[in-house]
């Protein structure tokens, strides 16, 4: 059977991707940030997942205001890196896992989550930056990736609780897939950040740290946080954090926090990172 072994929470700041692509990871500004992912890169290289379900948001790259799916699962065999205005990032093509993706689509939709099925989609920094942070710069990504795009760009995004419940449905879906696969799930975006308006540059480390604590130990409580609190405490783009609750919901109730890293700043944001392992 397929099994989810671990979840990874990770920011997806586009400037991190640019720093990697332009060979700046050793610069004084960036060096402490990339050092914080060294453990994780070694860990995941040793763990060798077959598939990563990568929860992220599209930033008007594949979708636009013309079409805004709340939850969209990528069922294609391949996904090209998106051109976000500077040409596509020089990263490998993302290889999907159509078999598991269609199974998750079927299982979650029959569980009454109205998932959009996507058979063609370019993937932007929301998806490729976490891959770069975790896997470095390989010639090909070492695992299959199932993109799961969440609308956190145009109001109204899904609630944290809805995301958490979707995570439970994904857990059930993966557990009922009858192929022996080692699966991980990433929740990306965040942490506190606001990119526009008078509060641009807002960082709330206290909120971020509490979020990480609760993500580990009290996800039910965390799932009750309302949109308005995310926006007030974590900034308008801090709402991306609801995506971490999909990852957490896909794990067991009790998890082991294997690793945590928190760093300010990267671009205009706080970078958070956590690894949660399911019991073996
Ligand atoms: C920025 C953009 C993002 O999508 C994000 O999650 C964090 C930061 C930015 O433009 O700096
Ligand atoms: Fe983002």
In this structure, are residues 264 and 181 in contact, taking their beta carbons and an 8 Å threshold? no
pLDDT at residue 202 in the model = 97
In this structure, are residues 248 and 194 in contact, taking their beta carbons and an 8 Å threshold? no
Ligand 1 centroid to residue 127 C-alpha, Å: 12
Asked whether 80 lines ligand 1 (CB < 6 A), one says no
Asked whether 277 lines ligand 1 (CB < 6 A), one says no
Asked whether 195 lines ligand 1 (CB < 6 A), one says yes
SS3 150: strand
Strand (E) or helix (H) holding 266? strand 256-266
Asked whether 267 lines ligand 1 (CB < 6 A), one says yes
Going by their DSSP bridges, the two strands 182-188 and 51-56 should be labelled as: parallel
Ligand 1 centroid to residue 264 C-alpha, Å: 14
| pTM given for the model | 0.98
Number of Cβ within 10 Å of residue 214's Cβ equals 17
Provide the residue-wise pLDDT of the chain in tens; the chain has 280 residues: 999 999 999 999 999 999 999 999 999 999 999 999 999 999 999 999 999 999 999 999 999 999 999 999 999 999 999 999 999 999 999 999 999 999 999 999 999 999 999 999 999 999 999 999 999 999 999 999 999 999 999 999 999 999 999 999 999 999 999 999 999 999 999 999 999 999 999 999 999 999 999 999 999 999 999 999 999 999 999 999 999 999 999 999 999 999 999 999 999 899 999 999 999 8
pLDDT at residue 146 in the model = 99
d(CA 208, CA 96): 31
Ligand 2 centroid to residue 122 C-alpha, Å: 15
d(CA 15, CA 34): 12
Torsion of CA 160, 162, 168, 174, to 10 degrees: -110
Question: Residues with catalytic annotation?
Answer: 125, 193
Ligand 2 centroid to residue 97 C-alpha, Å: 24
Asked whether 268 lines ligand 1 (CB < 6 A), one says yes
Give the closest residue (by CA) to ligand 1 atom 8. 13
pLDDT at residue 280 in the model = 87
Q: Which ligand is nearest to the CA of 16?
A: 1
Of ligand 1's listed atoms, the one at least distance from the Cα of 268 is 11
| Domains of the chain, start order | 3-277 (3.40.830.10)
């Amino acid at each position: 059977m397929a099994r989810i072994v671990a979840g990874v929470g990770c920011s997806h700041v586009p400037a991190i991707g640019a720093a990697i692509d332009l060979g700046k990871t050793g610069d004084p500004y960036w060096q402490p940030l990339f050092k914080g992912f060294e453990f994780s890169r070694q860990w995941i290289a040793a763990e060798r997942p077959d598939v990563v379900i990568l929860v992220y948001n599209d930033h008007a790259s594949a979708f636009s205001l013309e079409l805004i799916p709340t939850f969209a699962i990528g069922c294609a065999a391949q996904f090209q890196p998106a051109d976000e205005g500077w040409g596509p990032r020089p990263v490998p093509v993302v290889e999907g896992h159509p078999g598991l993706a269609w199974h998750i689509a079927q299982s979650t939709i029959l569980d009454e989550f109205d998932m959009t099925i996507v058979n063609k989609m370019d993937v932007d920094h929301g998806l490729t930056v976490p891959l770069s942070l975790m896997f470095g710069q390989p010639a090909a990504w070492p695992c299959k990736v199932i993109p799961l795009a969440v609308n956190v760009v145009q109001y109204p995004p899904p609630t944290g609780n809805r995301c958490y419940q979707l995570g439970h449905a994904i857990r059930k879906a993966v557990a009922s897939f009858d192929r022996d696969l080692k699966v991980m799930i990433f929740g990306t975006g965040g942490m506190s950040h606001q990119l526009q308006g008078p509060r641009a540059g807002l960082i709330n480390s206290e909120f971020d740290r509490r979020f990480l604590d609760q993500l580990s130990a009290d996800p039910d409580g965390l799932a009750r946080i309302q949109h308005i609190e995310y926006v007030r405490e974590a900034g308008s783009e801090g709402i991306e954090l609801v995506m971490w609750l999909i990852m957490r919901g896909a794990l067991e109730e009790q998890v082991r926090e294997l690793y945590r890293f928190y760093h300010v700043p990267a671009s205009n944001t706080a970078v958070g990172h956590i690894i949660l392992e399911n019991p073996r």
